[in-house]
Amino acid sequence: MKKLLFVAYQSPVGSIWVNEAFRTAFGMYGEDLEPSVLLIEEASVALSKNTKPERLGLLPLSICHKYIKNYGTKVYAVKQHLEKYRVKELDENFGAEIIDESNLSEFLHSFDYVIFM
């Protein structure tokens, strides 16, 4: 089974790419592919408990939570990027694994396909 990684780097507020990354990832389960999602740079704020795109009429991040649990989708974030964007309280519904920036190269190379979106 091929391993795919979708990397979202844009803020979930002002763009819809975090939700799009998850929606695309969930669609892969029907294709015998194993998707994961990595949130980097501005997309790191998606993991904050206090981030609410719905305040601006955008889709809530919580719509992903049920599917993340159902599919067991692995979610990753980078420690240094969480610090850079001052993400304090992580929303546990993402079940995110935090990786160190120094391991990012190895991490990216552990997937067959890495799609930045």
Partner 1 sequence: MALILVKYGTDHSVEQLKIKSAKAEDKIVLIQNGVYWALKDLETPAKVYAIKDDFLARGYSEEDAKVNLISYSEFIDLLESEEKFIG
Residues near partner 1, by CB under 8 A? 7, 9, 40-41, 104-105, 108-109, 111-116
What single string gives the DSSP state of each residue in 63-78?
Answer: GGHHHHHHHT-EEEEE
CB of 90 to partner 1, least distance (A): 21
Nearer to partner 1, 76 or 111 (CB): 111
CB of 109 to partner 1, least distance (A): 6
| Residue length of the chain | 117
Nearer to partner 1, 98 or 108 (CB): 108
CB of 57 to partner 1, least distance (A): 27
Q: How far apart are CA 14 and CA 95, in angstroms?
A: 24
CA angle in degrees (0–180, nearest 5) for 16-21-23: 95
